[in-house]
Structure 1
Amino acid sequence: MFYALERFRATFFGDIAFRSNTTDQSLGLWAYVLYLAVVRHSMEIREATSSDTDAIRSIARDSLSSTYTTFLAEETIDAAIEQWYGDSLTEELEDDRALFLVVERDGEVAGFSQSEVVGQQSKTGHLLWLHIHPDHRGDATGVRLLVRTREALLKQGADAVRCFVLADNEGGNEFYRAHGFERAGQREVEIGSETFTENVYVESGLEGDDEWGAIDEVSVDGETVYVSYGEAARGTRSPFYTAYKSADRHDRYAWFCGNCDSIDNAMDAMGRIECNSCGNRRKATRWDASYL
């Protein structure tokens, strides 16, 4: 499938580049637009609503079953689903203290995060669970949801963010360590009638003007870039993130569109960015003297 799509792209890129006939160029361009529609997978992250309850339960079950069965019995997983995502889920979605975000890939819910802001004088955001459907793991869906959840918690007034993951979940622990967090302690959590240990993660210490260190290695159009999710610019559809040529973040390379995973974009002298693949845009960041 991938080979066929690459041949498809190469063929019509050739049409655009080498054919002089205007009609042929138009056909090639439209074919490439069709190619983008097939290859690019749109992503939307939004707050969950009551219509998402079934999807949340289903993804939680699939996520727990694929990750935790080595140390959680099936009846324990059933009890966890009923305990956290049972009949009270609709009420919890409407609770101002709770934050549920869902991530959609191509119009279908592919994962969700469950968080809360605690405290009065000093508020802390608690990321309690981040579940991604097994079919969407490894394609940056989880990283993007982590980034947007962190942003939402800070926007709600949290001074810091803590993440919780069962100590026996090796993949989950590695996920947080790889994306700017370090273990700060442990706590006990009850699942069904059993008690388990959770590791508590906090953001790694930052020095000077350093940004939050969530770096992801991404392959885009045959190139490998390193996307810094801590360096974001708000877009009309999704944020733009700074992309580097190396993991040490020394050489800025491009803007990575959070809506369609493309680096094909343009920025003008006023700081406006527009993604050439999906139309995501960032407004100007400074005044144009010609309008004063």
Structure 2
Amino acid sequence: MEADATLRDAEAGDADRVRELVESSMTTSYALSPQGIETILEAEFDADPLGDRFDDAETVARVAEGEETLVGYGEATVAGDAGLVRWVHVDPERRGAGVGTALFERLTAAVDDRGVDEVRAVTLADNTAGGAFVERFDFEKTGERTTEFDDRETVQHVYVEEGATGAADETGAAGSAADADSASDAGESPSGQAIEGALPDAVATDDGTEVHPGGDPIAGAEGAFVRTFTDADRSEHYGYYCTNCGSTAVSMDESERLECADCGNTHRPEEYDGSYL
């Protein structure tokens, strides 16, 4: 995180700025109409609902404070033996500096400190990079659930730390989880990036290994990437497949940047830092 941005507990006086930066974040990163964004803002981020949550012992609310104003907001809840990361938003002008990463790590650490057995995260299906962001912290998608903001029904993707159990039966006031497919054949990814046509069931790598593309798409500059697996059940991860050109010649560096050697398509995690659950 930048040296001039520090994390602290959210306070009542932060509400107006939190709403402002969340609106900017959603406008930049969500595939929602202005009316859809306004519905969520009124239900979740007006002063009254924010103030109530700031005072709620079951809520963990943190802000990232820059030299002149707040640049990020994160929120998690604790209910029983489970913690849930609900929101991470960063001012679009301050993305790429690690603010989102710091907020997510602080939230998960805070709920861990409360003795929960499991930490989960949810992302709206209408965001543009939330899934890829959460997966960077070794969370895996386990299902979907529906929730309502006023009368607007919205789908959320549910993630749980890899190796944790019990996430498939996620239920709560916001809705029930549904089983997620192990592979996306076509359509729109959690990042909002469309895949043209159906994924092939199997492709051959340069060395002749047969692999099976599938899983949640990962946003790329020219087209999405998906993981490849050595088995048809897609349980043994092998590498990555570029949907832009159909190549398996995709490398990942130590910073988890993906690059296709054939067409130059790239995925750079820092571009998606803190955007947004």
The answer as to whether partners of 1:117 and 1:124 remain within 8 angstroms in 2 is yes
2:3 and 2:161 map into 1 onto residues whose CA distance is 30
The answer as to whether partners of 1:76 and 1:192 remain within 8 angstroms in 2 is no
Establish whether residue 83 from structure 1 lines up as the match of residue 43 from structure 2: yes
Give TM-score scaled by structure 2 length.
Answer: 0.56
- Structure 1 stretches of 4+ moved >3 Å: 245-248
Unaligned runs of 5+ in 1: 1-39, 207-244, 249-292
The verdict on how the C-alpha distance between 1:246 and 1:65 changes in structure 2, with shifts beyond 3 A counting, is closer
1:156 and 1:164 map into 2 onto residues whose CA distance is 19
The answer as to whether partners of 1:76 and 1:191 remain within 8 angstroms in 2 is no
The answer as to whether partners of 2:74 and 2:103 remain within 8 angstroms in 1 is yes
In the TM superposition, residue 114 of structure 1 has moved relative to its aligned partner by 1.4
Mapping 1:153-232, distance limit 5 Å: 153-205=111-163
Q: Which has the larger radius of gyration?
A: 1
Q: What is the CA RMSD across the aligned residues, in angstroms? A: 2.1
Aligned match of 2:95: 137
1:90 and 1:166 map into 2 onto residues whose CA distance is 22
The verdict on how the C-alpha distance between 1:184 and 1:108 changes in structure 2, with shifts beyond 3 A counting, is same
String of CA shifts for 1:21-76, please: whole Å, max 9, x gaps: xxxxxxxxxxxxxxxxxxx63221111011111111111111111111x3x22112
2:3 and 2:67 map into 1 onto residues whose CA distance is 6
Identity, % of aligned positions = 29
1:195 and 1:64 map into 2 onto residues whose CA distance is 17
1:176 and 1:247 map into 2 onto residues whose CA distance is 15
In the TM superposition, residue 192 of structure 1 has moved relative to its aligned partner by 3.8
1:198 and 1:185 map into 2 onto residues whose CA distance is 9
1:145 and 1:96 map into 2 onto residues whose CA distance is 19
User: Of residues 8, 13, 24 in structure 2, which corresponds to 1:51?
Assistant: 13
Between the two proteins, the alignment pairs up a number of residues equal to: 166
The answer as to whether partners of 1:112 and 1:132 remain within 8 angstroms in 2 is yes
1:90 and 1:194 map into 2 onto residues whose CA distance is 22
Aligned match of 1:117: 78
| Paired amino acid for 2:58 | R
String of CA shifts for 1:157-213, please: whole Å, max 9, x gaps: 22221000012324111111122211011100113432121111111228xxxxxxx
2:36 and 2:128 map into 1 onto residues whose CA distance is 19
1:247 and 1:52 map into 2 onto residues whose CA distance is 33
User: Of residues 86, 97, 106 in structure 1, which corresponds to 2:67?
Assistant: 106
| Paired amino acid for 1:169 | N
Secondary structure of the 2:131 match is helix
Aligned match of 2:28: 66
1:79 and 1:247 map into 2 onto residues whose CA distance is 37
In the TM superposition, residue 144 of structure 1 has moved relative to its aligned partner by 1.0
